[in-house]
Amino acid sequence: MEWWQEGVLYQIYPRSFRDTNGDGVGDLRGIIEGLDHLEWLGVDGVWVNPIHPSPNDDWGYDVSAYKDVHPELGTMEDFEELIDDAARRGIRILLDLVPNHTSSAHPWFVDALSGRDAKHRDWYVWSDPKPDGSPPNNWLSMFGGSAWEFDEPSGQYYLHNFLDSQADLDWWNEEVREAIDDVLRFWFDKGVAGFRIDVANSVIKDRDLRDNPPTTDDDHLEIQRIGQRPMYSMNRPEVHEILRRWRKVAREADPPRMLVGETYVLDLGVLASYYGTGDELDLAFNFPMFFTALDGEAMKTTVEQTFDHLSEDSWPVWTGSNHDGLRFPSRWCDGDERKIRIALMMLLTLRGTPFLYYGDEIGMTNVDITREQLKDPVGIRFFPENPGRDPGRTPMQWSADDGAGFTKPDVSPWLPLGDHRSVNVADQRSDGGSILNFTRDLIHLRRRSEDLRSGEQSSIASPTGTFVYRRGVSTVVVLNMTDAPNSFDVDGEVLVTSTGRALEAGPLELDPFEGAIVTQS
Ligand code: NOJ
């Protein structure tokens, strides 16, 4: 088993983790300060959202220099110290690679704009207008409106699947491929353990730029939301060749590195294809599971279907929260602590790699944001129908103090604080029965248990609304995801319950929204 299969990974949104210089924005030194917490929690690896120089139109996902650190977040020396300090604690650092697009402020794009003959012109996707002057096709940006922006001086449109200041690179161009290989190698040399790859499944576009078809009622609601089926602008078959190429670069490094892709697809068969035949992504984020309700029947179905689709050598990955899809303690659990605990028990005991998002371990929920406080371009465009992603990106709640231990007491953080007086790391750390200590107990149990780290998983028949599975030879996880008590016919010793109640098995009587892990001899 690889470290990233057995381990627990943790996502940090660097601007919101910890601010050490009092500017209201989290920084790399803040992550270094947070390592004590992560080590105590038992985390094996950390994925840090983009840290590179960026105009921050999309908060780092508009990169203007791939081989540097954003001054607001720190320096290259800080980054090297982070890698070293984390390594001493057995924690690996993954960075975020954004290969689909660059910022329009990136020197490549600035050069491309200088004219049709520019050296980097064909590093981006350019096309002539239709005869009536309109965009080359009907593609829509994921952030609303046409995916094409007209460049008056050259008389052509360029493609942007996201903001118009995020110009899509042309992955048909070998020079682009080489440039990004070079970025990978640069950070591998610095000691990063791998990358989370942004838009990993969709960097290459249809060569003929064919129109996308309309959605139908059969499409997943999340696809209907886009307004068209992104058949030609995403998930093109040629992407596999690129994934194989990145995999090769990652495996050629010494030691070999890992790649986890943001594979935003809602079809598990398509998701499975991004693992290739063990020669593409190591892990492909599972959005169908992310969008499944926290209901025994529904989760069981999605999890079983995931196993059915993934081949022998593909390893699942499970996530409840991230910086785009907001926090599971709100989305799945409506802030109900019983549900938050049961979700954590599920995430940390399914066969596969769990990714926790900063704050999951204390049950942080989404935070209401006013129009004036918005920072996310999606929220700014669609508020109030869609408040965007800021509600899930608010500062880590370290303590009940003014500033939440995130920043100095008199500093106003870049996004508002949530309810840090009642939900924070410091208070939960000293409370043995807290969500934080429960999360830590689960992570440490997982570390000790070969069954939980690597054992096979099979479902056990159970009442509607519950989800019960065997892991490995002797571990059974029983999740009562219903509002009613439930009795399970299982023998053995109860190792942990989500409520902290001491329970006996055979039969196991669970309260509403209570889970238990049982070991059988
Ligand atoms: C996915 C990232 O997770 C999201 O935050 C970003 O806005 C888009 N890709 C564009 O890079």
Binding site membership of 404 for ligand 1 (Cβ less than 6 Å): no
Q: What is the pLDDT of residues 242-288, one digit of tens each?
A: 999 999 999 999 999 999 999 999 999 999 999 999 999 999 999 99
Give dist(CA 45, CA 260) in Å, integer: 12
Q: Which 3 state secondary structure label does DSSP give 183?
A: helix
Binding site membership of 262 for ligand 1 (Cβ less than 6 Å): yes
| Ligand 1 mutation pick, 15, 47, 54, 61, max ligand atoms within 8 A of CB | 61
- Report the CATH architecture of 3-102+174-443: Alpha-Beta Barrel (3.20)
Atom 6 (ligand 1) nearest CA: 61
Binding site membership of 57 for ligand 1 (Cβ less than 6 Å): no
Instruction: Give distance in angstroms: CA of 167 to centre of ligand 1.
Output: 13
pLDDT at 225 (0 to 100): 86
pLDDT at 226 (0 to 100): 87
Q: How confident is the model at residue 133 (pLDDT cuts 50, 70, 90)?
A: very high
**Per DSSP, what are the bridge partners of residue 259?**
195
Instruction: Give distance in angstroms: CA of 38 to centre of ligand 1.
Output: 25
Instruction: Give distance in angstroms: CA of 50 to centre of ligand 1.
Output: 10
Task: Write down the pTM of the prediction.
Answer: 0.98
**Per DSSP, what are the bridge partners of residue 494?**
518
Tokens read off for 376: 């996310």
Among 99, 94, 84, 86, CA closest to 47: 94
Instruction: Give distance in angstroms: CA of 101 to centre of ligand 1.
Output: 10
Among 270, 263, 268, CA closest to 305: 268
Tokens read off for 182: 């070079």
Q: How confident is the model at residue 317 (pLDDT cuts 50, 70, 90)?
A: very high
**3-state helix/strand/coil string of 385-421:** CCCCCHHHCCCCCCCCCHHHHCCCCCCCCCCCCCCCC
Give dist(CA 138, CA 170) in Å, integer: 18
| CB-based contact 177:242 (threshold 8 Å) | yes
Question: Residue 126: in which H helix or E strand, if any?
Answer: strand 126-127
Instruction: Give distance in angstroms: CA of 39 to centre of ligand 1.
Output: 28
pLDDT at 395 over 90: yes
**Catalytic: which of 19, 62, 198, 360?**
198
- Report the CATH architecture of 455-519: Sandwich (2.60)
Which fold does the domain 107-168 belong to in CATH? Oligo-1,6-glucosidase; domain 2 (3.90.400)
Binding site membership of 357 for ligand 1 (Cβ less than 6 Å): no
Q: What is the pLDDT of residues 349-389, one digit of tens each?
A: 999 999 999 999 999 999 999 999 999 999 999 999 999 99
Binding site membership of 27 for ligand 1 (Cβ less than 6 Å): no
Domain ranges of the chain: 3-102+174-443, 107-168, 455-519
Q: Does the annotation count 96 as an active-site position?
A: no
| CB-based contact 200:262 (threshold 8 Å) | yes
Among 90, 215, 236, CA closest to 171: 236
The conformational region for residue 437 under phi > 0 = left, psi -120 to 50 = alpha, else beta, is alpha
Q: What is the pLDDT of residues 167-222, one digit of tens each?
A: 999 999 999 999 999 999 999 999 999 999 999 999 999 999 999 999 999 998 88
Q: Give the mean pLDDT of 306-323.
A: 97
Q: Does the annotation count 241 as an active-site position?
A: no
Tokens read off for 403: 């500033």
Distances (CA, A) of 202 to 225, 230, 296, 435: 18, 10, 32, 37
Main-chain dihedrals φ then ψ at residue 382, nearest 5 degrees: -110, 0
Give dist(CA 150, CA 129) in Å, integer: 8
pLDDT at 521 over 90: no
Instruction: Give distance in angstroms: CA of 265 to centre of ligand 1.
Output: 14
State the closest ligand 1 atom to the C-alpha of 143, by its place in the atom list counted from 1.
7
Give dist(CA 244, CA 280) in Å, integer: 5
Give dist(CA 423, CA 340) in Å, integer: 13
Q: How confident is the model at residue 508 (pLDDT cuts 50, 70, 90)?
A: very high
Looking at every residue in the chain, the average pLDDT score rounds to 98
Sheet containing strand 194-197, edge to edge, reads 283-284, 258-261, 194-197, 92-97, 45-48, 9-12, 353-357, 317-319
pLDDT at 212 (0 to 100): 98
Q: Give the mean pLDDT of 1-25.
A: 98
| CB-based contact 3:45 (threshold 8 Å) | yes
The reply to whether 3-102+174-443 and 107-168 are identical in fold is: no
State the closest ligand 1 atom to the C-alpha of 100, by its place in the atom list counted from 1.
11
**Catalytic: which of 178, 182, 252, 431?**
252
